[in-house]
Amino acid sequence: MNLLERVITLLRSNLNTVLEQAEDPEKILRQLHLDMRNQLVQVKTQVATAIAEAYKLQKRSQERKVEAEKWLEKAQLAVQQGKDDVACTSLIHYNDSSKQIQRYSEQKIGQDQLVAMMRSVLLQLEAKITEVETIIDLLATRKRNALIQQRVFEALNQSVKAGENERVSKAQDALIEIEARALAFADLYKYLMGKKDGEEHNDCQSNKHP
C-alpha cells in the first residue's frame, strides 16, 4: 500500500470507533496525530513533485510545439522551392512532433488530475489532523477536570472524616466525664454512709456508759 492509499484509508476511518476500542484513547490519538503529521510532510513532498512533473510535461510540450512549427515552415518553404524530398522529410518530422505534443498533452491532463486529487487529499488530511488535535484537547480537558473533581472529593471526604472524628472524640470525652462523675459520686456516697455508720456506733456506746 503506497502513501496515498494509506492516507485515504486513514481519512475514511471512524475516529469514534477507534476511541471506543482503545483502552487509552488519548495515547492512541497522540500516536495517530504523530503518524498523520509525518504523512502530511510526505504528501506535501509528493504534491510538490507532481506539480514539478506537470510543469516539465508542459515545457516539453511547448518545446515540441515550437519544433513542429519549424518543421512545418520548412516543409512549406520546400514546397514553394519545389524540393519535394525536403518537404516530405520535413512533414514526417512535423507529424512526429505533433504526435509527441499530443502524448505530452494527454500526460499533462492526467498529471493535472493527479495533482488536483493529491491537493484534495492534502486538505482532507490537514482537516483530519485538526479534528484529532481538537479531540486530544477535549480529552485532556476532561482528564484535568476529572482529576480536579477527584481532588475536591478527597478533600471534602477528609474534611467530613475529620469532623466525624472530632465529634466521636468529643462524645468519648463526655462519656468518660460522666463515668468519672458517677464513680466520684459513688465514692462520696460510700464515704458518707461509712461516716454515718461510725457516728451511730459511737452514739450507742455513749448511751451504754452514762
Each domain of the chain, given as residue ranges in start order, spans: 3-171
Q: How far, in Å, CA of 42 to CA of 71, rounded?
A: 43
C-alpha angle with apex 199: 196 to 203, nearest 5 degrees?
A: 140
Q: Which residues of the chain fall short of a pLDDT of 70?
A: 1, 4, 13-14, 16-19, 22, 154-210
The CATH number corresponding to 3-171 among 3.30.1340, 1.10.3470, 1.10.260, 1.10.287 equals 1.10.287
pLDDT tens digits, one per residue of 22-44: 677 778 888 888 888 888 888 89
The predicted structure's pLDDT at residue 204? 47
The predicted structure's pLDDT at residue 134? 86
DSSP string across 113-160: HHHHHHHHHHHHHHHHHHHHHHHHHHHHHHHHHHHHHHHHHHHHHHHH
Q: Are 43 and 3 in contact (CB under 8 A)?
A: yes
Q: How far, in Å, CA of 67 to CA of 64, rounded?
A: 5
Look at the pTM and tell me if it is higher than 0.85: no
Amino acid identity, residue 31? Q
